[in-house]
Amino acid sequence: MNGEMKVGLFVLVGSVLFGAALFLLGDYSFQTYYPVYAEFTDVAGLPDKATVKLSGVEVGKIRKIYLKENKVVVQLAIREGVKIYRGAKFAVGSTSVIGSKYLQVDQGAPALGVVEAGETVLGEEIVPLDKAVARAVASMESLVADIRGEGKLAKSMQDILDNLRDITANVNDIVANGQPHAEKAIERMDSITARLDSMLIKTDEIVAKINRGDGVAGALVSDAKMKDDVTAAITNIRDASASVKDAMGRMTGFRTYLKWDYKYEPLAHGSKNNFGLKIYPREGRYYYVGAANMINTKDASEGTDYEALNTIDAQLGWDVGPFDLYAGVLRGSGGGGVRWKPFYNSRWDRLSVLVEASEFSRNRRIKDRPFNDPRYDVGVDVALNKYVSAGVRLNDLMETKRVNYTTRLVFEDKDIAYLFGFASLGALKK
């Protein structure tokens, strides 16, 4: 091989390698795509070359993002053969709170027709994370102002508490009327207990004499059956005294809390509320019952929302050190969860981590989207004080990965606790 052939072969190989590098680095592909243009007012940091997902499945990529007058135009490249129906929702999604961004497309209705190549659609407005945090802080400040009595929330909560006080006032009257009798009964019970203790001492002396066969009593009850009957009677008296003391302890052992959760979901452009009652019949164990995802279903929806609305919660829970374990009905379906305080009994005790699992046999379609995997939610909460806490949730990790910002109010109501204790005492008397 002469020098010219070597040079020619070197140039040929170099050209092939250079072409292959251009093909790989230039993002070229043999797959054919058709263009769709989406207009936004703000793309919240969506990068070029990001992926496009239809109902959670990757179907294309972003070719270019540019400004057109006062709009941001995103040029999408959708794979040939993928049909996007009119009425579809185009929004900027995120794999997590600080994860990579992509363009999420929620499928439209087939009856409306197909989005054609080159057509321009309107994108859903999404609040960027920094603006959402700013709004959440502003909402928190407004909420704190309301709690301090400077807004409508404080007045509404005051009206609710006034109504609860009116409801419990009658119970308090009944209890007040019955309290003198109860006090006399307790005083009498203490007197009876003291007399029982004295009688038991004397009875022990009598039994000792009986065992020795001393005196007239020893002669009358010298047989073994009579001794057993006397011993059984004393045992029954002791058991009755213990039962009375246990009943009095149950009456004053209840604790109850009113809980209200407010949740805002940016992708759905809407908020929901949870309201319920948490009852501690004794230390370390509680029952919770309430309503979840409360919303007026007649309100117009601005975004896509996959949550089950206006459902119930009913759980049995245990407080074990830094862990709060609970199981039962979550948003109308079976499930359970754990809330963990990683800095339990320290200066950072305000922080808690939440993990929930539910809907283990889910197999349904919601707004033309299939849901087959169980639901898993995670979140972090920070307690501002003993009444107010705020946090962030990532809902349905296996399916939609929706971010929610949350605020919680908790109030202890001792009147309701006393009502439950009084009711439990009445049940014991039956």
Taking the C-alpha atoms of residue 369 and residue 316, their distance in angstroms, rounded to an integer, is: 32
Taking the C-alpha atoms of residue 257 and residue 250, their distance in angstroms, rounded to an integer, is: 18
Q: Specify the long-range contacts of residues 175-182, CB closer than 8 Å, at least 24 apart.
A: 175/418, 175/422
Question: Looking only at Cα atoms, what is the longest distance across the chain?
Answer: 141
pLDDT score at 307: 87
pLDDT score at 347: 76
Q: How far is CA 312 from the centre of its chain?
A: 12
pLDDT one digit per residue (tens) for the chain, 430 residues:
566 676 677 777 777 676 666 555 555 556 789 999 999 988 878 888 889 999 889 999 999 999 988 899 999 999 998 999 999 999 988 876 667 889 999 999 999 999 999 999 998 877 666 676 677 777 777 766 666 655 566 666 667 667 767 766 765 666 666 666 656 766 766 777 777 677 778 777 776 776 666 655 555 555 556 556 656 766 776 665 556 556 555 556 678 899 999 999 888 888 889 989 999 888 889 999 999 998 877 777 677 888 888 999 999 999 999 999 999 999 989 999 999 999 888 877 889 999 999 999 888 888 888 999 999 999 999 998 888 999 999 999 988 888 999 999 998 877 776 676 666 655 555 4
Taking the C-alpha atoms of residue 44 and residue 125, their distance in angstroms, rounded to an integer, is: 10
The number of residues in the chain equals 430
CB 64 within 8 A of CB 16: no
- pTM of this structure: 0.48
pLDDT score at 153: 60
**Domains in the chain: boundaries:** 31-126, 179-251, 254-424
**254-424: what fold?**
Lipocalin (2.40.128)
Q: Return the bridge partners of 327, or none.
A: 316, 336
3-state SS, one letter per residue, for the chain? CCHHHHHHHHHHHHHHHHHHHHHHHCCCCCCCEEEEEEEECCCCCCCCCCEEEECCEEEEEEEEEEEECCEEEEEEEEECCCCCECCCEEEEEECCCCCCEEEEEECCCHHHCECCCCCEEECCCCCCHHHHHHHHHHHHHHHHHHHCCCCHHHHHHHHHHHHHHHHHHHHHHHHHHHHHHHHHHHHHHHHHHHHHHHHHHHHHHHHHHHHHCCHHHHHHCCCHHHHHHHHHHHHHHHHHHHHHHHHHHHHCCCEEEEEEEEEEECCCCEEEEEEEEEEEEECCEEEEEEEEEECCCCCCCCCCCCCCCCEEEEEEEEEECCEEEEEEEECCEEEEEEEECCCCCCCCCCEEEEEEEECCCCCEEECCEEECCCEEEEEEEEECCCCEEEEEEEECCCCCCEEEEEEEEEEECHHHHHHHHHHHHHHHHC
> Per-residue b/e over 243-279, b at no fewer than 16 CB within 10 Å?
eeeeeeebbeebbbbbbbbbbbbbbbbbebebebebb
Please return the burial class of 352, using the count of CB atoms within 10 Å of its CB with bins 0-12, 13-18 and 19+.
Answer: buried
pLDDT score at 299: 72
Which residues 6+ apart lie within 8 Å of 392 measured at CB?
97, 379, 380, 403, 404, 405, 406
Distances (CA, A) of 262 to 77, 295, 301, 312, 389: 39, 11, 18, 15, 11
Q: What amino acid is encoded at 126 in this protein? A: I
Taking the C-alpha atoms of residue 239 and residue 235, their distance in angstroms, rounded to an integer, is: 6
Distances (CA, A) of 83 to 117, 337, 399: 10, 39, 21
> Per-residue b/e over 162-179, b at no fewer than 16 CB within 10 Å?
eeeeeebeeeeeeeeeee
pLDDT score at 114: 93
pLDDT score at 407: 93
pLDDT score at 189: 67
